Structure 1
Amino acid sequence: MKESIYLNDDLAIINFNKAYPKNGDDFLTSSTFANFIRMYIEYLKSYDEDLYLYALQGRSGREAAFEIIKLFRMLRIFRCEEVESIYLNDKAKLLEFVDELYNFWKKHQRFSVISSGMAQSLGADSYVLLDSNFNNLNLSLYRMMEERIMGRKNRVYRQMQAGTNAAVSVRMNKSRLSEKYDALQEIPFIDSVMLRTPMILHPKSNKRTGMFTERMDNPISGFTGDGDTWFCYPCKIGSLLAFIYFHRDFFASAVSLGNLFELANKEECEQKPDLICLFGNEDGKDETTFYHDEEEDMWVGCVSYNQRIEYFGYLKKMSLTLHNLAMMKKGWLPIHGAFVNITLKNGKKKGIMLMGDSGAGKSESIEALKALGNEKIKKIEVVFDDMGTIHIEDGVPYGQGTEIGAFIRLDDLDPGTPYRDMDRSVFMSPESKNARVITPAAPYDVVSTNHRIDLFAYANNYDNKMGLHRFTDMEDAKAVCKLGKRMALGTTQEVGISTTYFANPFGPMQKQEICEPLIDEVFQCLKDNNVFVGEIYTHLGFNKEEREGLEIAAKELLEFIEKQ
């Protein structure tokens, strides 16, 4: 990234390599701050005409910015009474100008970037300390200006995130990619992420639409990015190594991955990845596609640049689609669902796996079980909350996860849950319909470990039945799961009764010919191991506010754990 600061709409990325203010004078005299003041004055033209005219005082925007910055520098040293400036003729207006300037900065999604090792040359032990100092500098300058203009101290102080929402350390990486992927070699890799949580983001879209489809040509041939405008988030998705390359305009979504996928270490990044995702490619196609590079044995996904893909679901689900396609090739069956290990206070432990498409009630059933069994449950270990796999070892079916976190609708959770974990969470448009939260769920060593399955149930939100039902015929169980029926609740583009092959539009639906024999093999193995295979009736397709169906289902789940 060549610029010291990149501003685009409500996004701000600060390049600490190019400019880092060590003190207030550095800050106020920087070209970065001058550019920001000019941008703020231009913003006032449509936001507040009176304040815009006050800022100009008959000058051009550039001239006004120069005079305002000169005043700010004077006020760092002198009281208002000792300074001559036309802006001080109306202190109330000047105070409003400063307050709105601060608010304008806070409206941006703000991130800092610095190369690994640069922190020491700037006199700090780490990039986290650098970013924290930048935060303190912003806050102290704002307070100083405010108090100088008011002529008194504040009576209430609020320690806000005045600097950035998150910071990343980046480095150059030389992976074992072949020459056909040379266009990716100069893109910096994220080495470490610092999130200021709770982090609240406001993406322009809050719903995913369209499907991920296969293409016959490698997306790398139409890749338009470069090392100045793109970054890479290298991560582990389940046991697979993924390089997620993204356009800087989607920086907010990418750093949020820190709460979802395990960041790969330096040694892992020097290996050939299993998956590559190109997110925000300016190819003009408006597509979400994937390709299997058989020669390299890699799956490559591509999401075209579009404002709507700022919704985190696009980045998450494309990454999981690539994972699922690769795992099916290995003979593992992807499961769209939730898997938890429940340990009771009496020592009993059971692995509970629920399967179903978005809105079916997987997470809600687990939450209801937590609430109902609060007095009996000692520990709940989350293996996965959205996507996982079943594979067979020595004749035994095991489950593994993909994510260290969960991307959940706030409406799906018990009202107190988001607040309990908010100190570690990333919130997406919490005031809107389909609001989401990304919260850590499990350590990577738990996610990537084999776990026994004691109960496997399809989350049924469309039948007017209650509780838990066990299939006596495995063909019936497979038929229900493959039909993938649900009452869609508008979390994607669908509303009403819908069906999706194996309740999983992220790989199995696109490659049914590969998935079909895996289903037969896994369900036979579940039967041979006497695993409970059935349906859990959540009733969420009838009335999401009515919790009776969920409570009955949770009660029967708890009874299963106690009695088996």
Structure 2
Amino acid sequence: MDKLTRTVIVDGSIVYTDSSEILSSAGFEKLLLEYIEILKERNSPLLRALEAFRVGDEYHIRHIVEYIHLLTLRNVRDITTIINYVNPEDFAKFIESFYTFWRNKHRFMIKRENYTTDPARRTSIVFTAAMVAEEFKNLIRNLYRTVMKNITVDDSSVIVRQLPSGAQVTFLVDNLNVEKPRLTKFKSIPTIWGAIFDPPVIFYTKSNKRKGVLPVVDEPVIERIKLENSTDDWYHVPILVGDLLMFVYVHKEFLCHAAGLGNLFQFADLKSIKEKEVCGVLIFGLKPEEIPDFKPSWKNGVIFNEGEFYVGIIPAIDENDYFGYMKKTILTLHNLYRIDQGKLPIHGSMARIVLKNGKSAVAMFVGDSGAGKSETLDALNRLEEVAYVDVIIDDMGCLDILNGRVVAYGTETGAFVRLDDLPPGYAYYTMDRSIFMNPDKINARVIVPFNNYKDIITPTPIDFFFYANNYTEVKEDSERIIFFDSVEEAIKVFSAGKRMSKGTTSEEGMTESYFANPFGAVQRQEVHHRIAGQFLTKMFETGVRVGEIRTMLGVEGYEKEGTQLAARALLKLIEKVK
């Protein structure tokens, strides 16, 4: 195990079969030493349990470990004559607190396995890795239970709690050594090609809001970047964002965000890595002093234009320790590349809504975080008249024109959802496959998979194109959805990008963001505006209904009811579809 301030990495190549192997590991001693140092800083009364092991101002770590090992073999009453007296009650509190300290770490197992294209062999590798992780978890749990049983002399409790104790995520890692132009220097960084989650997966990060807009610097940087402290400090995660290949390099202290990628994007297979060109690179967790010509305005991230692709860098500072920076930087890389292609990236949601009477429509909602996009779709899905809502895009998509029609495709197979705006119980419904981020705080989030990769990259013609207005209070049902009469009227509303902030970013009150898309559109506003005009014109020409849906999510008193009323208004429109 490799000790960090909050991340613990367990070597998955070691099969632990006995608790003594854990106790004798260097990682266990490091963890114990770190915990004792924290107790000393706090002048904690828990240190009373360790007086017998005190030497001056320090504590003899090796002797403490040996004592714990004795407690796996014998009852505390049998060993008090061997060493100086240790108060069982005090030591039980210490062990309980130490166990909690371990469980509060971000715990990862890294298992190095050769990537194989053989599906049967891959399944076998995953199964074996899952067995190793399960065995490790059971050993940790049994070690804790055995020690506590032998300390607690008069415990008559028969309540047993199966607390999560092992690795929260097991990563399958290999050195693929795939040559990519201008990225050769990074090829020795180990590649994460698979992940096994042990739910519930909960991470507590140092920040839970995203700030600012990523500046774009139109000059290359990749040749000046060094990730050479140690190849063991960094991990490479190849992902598909829509059908674009991107390489993400994550420092091990931020592996919780690499885990989030597994629930949000499609991991790229070896065929895609070899055949596709890299369209974007993200380096997450580079120290500011290691970023060439670092400027204070880059503290929340910066993007460089390499010509063939874009490079995003998120500095390793506490306020960037939020999955939103990982997700939004990747999507900004995607959007910049799409704009260069002449396509229109859209910050919004899209779904195929199918009614029980057989009628259906594809609706796209444009809006920034907290506009009510996902909430309106969820409200639709709860209506009795609705058969199902097939979410194709949850946050970012792209418009294209195929065979004379405007079509859309998505970027993500999962959703980074704000729990506060979802119906009660949703978080618990998805607990067995979700990653929770800071569930005890405002803007608590869950990363949950919602669709398969094939569906999100299939071009889908759209019927309705709405701006999600969360700030206008309306009383009449006829005003919940309005349609624009011209391209000029539509582009004025979409360009303004007005929204009542819901606390998902650092903004408060009424805000404006060009096209509700600070992720590429605002950085390339002139080019984007021309492309947007072309697409809206095509929509009006081909019968796509362009308008505004009033969700009232930002109107006090309508936070829940507003999206339900908007959903019912949209239902009535779909019922009229021929």
Q: TM-score band (shorter)?
A: over 0.9
> Is this contact kept in 2: 1:222–1:283, CA < 8 A?
no
Paired position in structure 1 for 2:178: 175
Q: Quote the residue 2:317 is aligned against.
A: 306
Q: 1:551 Cα deviation (Å)?
A: 2.6
Equivalents in 2 of 1:489, 1:394: separation in Å?
39
Q: Does 1:247 align with 2:244?
A: no
Residue 530 of structure 1: how far off its partner (Å): 0.8
8 Å CA contact 2:481–2:569 kept in 1: the answer is yes
Amino acid at match of 1:312: F
Matched residue, 1:221 = 223
RMSD: 2.2
Q: Which residue of 2 aligns with 1:328?
A: 339
Distance 1:51 1:548, change over 3 A: closer
Distance 1:479 1:472, change over 3 A: same
**Which residue does 1:348 correspond to in 2?**
359
Moved more, 349-358 or 56-65: 56-65
Q: Shift in Å at residue 167 of structure 1? A: 1.2
Aligned pair partner of 1:54 in 49, 54, 62:
49
8 A contact 1:343–1:380 mirrored in 2: yes
Structure 2 CA distance, aligned partners of 1:70 and 1:209? Answer: 48
**CA deviation profile, 1:84-110 (whole Å, cap 9, x unmatched):** 344654111111111111011011111
What is the CA deviation profile of residues 516-544 of structure 1, one whole-angstrom value per residue up to 9, with x for unaligned ones?
22112211121122111100011222216
- Of 464, 475, 490, 1:455 maps to 464
Instruction: Supply the distance in 1 between the matched residues of 2:520 and 2:258 (Cα, whole angstroms).
Output: 22
SS at match of 1:520: helix
Instruction: Determine if contact 2:2/2:27 at 8 Å carries over to the other structure.
Output: no
TM-superposition CA deviations, 1:199-232 (whole Å, max 9, x none): 1111100101122111133232342323121111
- Following TM superposition, the consecutive aligned residue runs of length 4 or more in structure 1 with deviations greater than 6 angstroms are none
- Normalization by structure 2: what TM-score? 0.91
Match of 1:44 in 2: 39
Between the aligned partners of 2:114 and 2:158, the Cα distance in structure 1 is 40
**Aligned match of 2:401 in 378, 392, 403?**
392
Give the deviation of 1:48 after TM superposition.
Answer: 5.2
State the 1:393 CA deviation.
0.3
CA–CA separation in structure 2 for the residues paired with 1:40 and 1:450: 53
| Residue equivalent to 1:137 | 139
Q: For residue 512 of structure 1, what is the aligned residue in structure 2?
A: 525
Question: Equivalent of 1:92, from 84, 89, 94?
Answer: 89
Deviation of residue 423 (structure 1)? 1.4
- Provide the residue aligned with 1:31 in structure 2: 26
Q: Residues 49 and 86 of structure 2 are in contact (CA less than 8 Å); yes or no, is this contact kept in structure 1?
A: no
| Alpha carbons of structure 1 residues 469 and 87: separation in structure 2 relative to 1, 3 Å | farther
Give the one of 412, 429, 435 matched to 1:426.
435
Alignment of 1:532 with 2:541, yes or no, is no
Aligned counterpart for 1:195 among listed residues 190, 194, 197: 197
Judge which range, 141-150 or 263-272, deviates more. Answer: 263-272
Correspondences of 1:117-156 after superposition (within 5 Å) = 117=114, 126-151=128-153, 154-156=157-159
Contact 2:363–2:465 (CA under 8 A) maintained in structure 1: yes
Aligned residue in 2 for 1:502: 515
Q: 1:7: how far off? A: 2.2
Q: Gapped runs of 5+ residues in structure 1?
A: none
Q: Secondary structure at the match of 1:110?
A: strand
Residues 108-132 of structure 1, C-alpha deviation per residue, up to 9 Å, x if partnerless?
Answer: 1111112115999xx9952221111
State the TM-score, normalized to the length of structure 1: 0.93
1:62 is displaced (CA, Å) by 7.2
1:239-266, Cα deviation, whole Å (9 max, x unpaired): 1011111111111111111110011112
Q: Percent identity?
A: 34
Deviates more, 1:45-54 or 1:267-276: 45-54
Residue 140 of structure 1 aligns to a residue whose secondary structure is: helix
Gaps of 5+ in 2: 116-120
**What amino acid is the match of 1:30?**
S
Instruction: Answer whether contact 1:41 1:61 (CA < 8 A) is retained.
Output: no
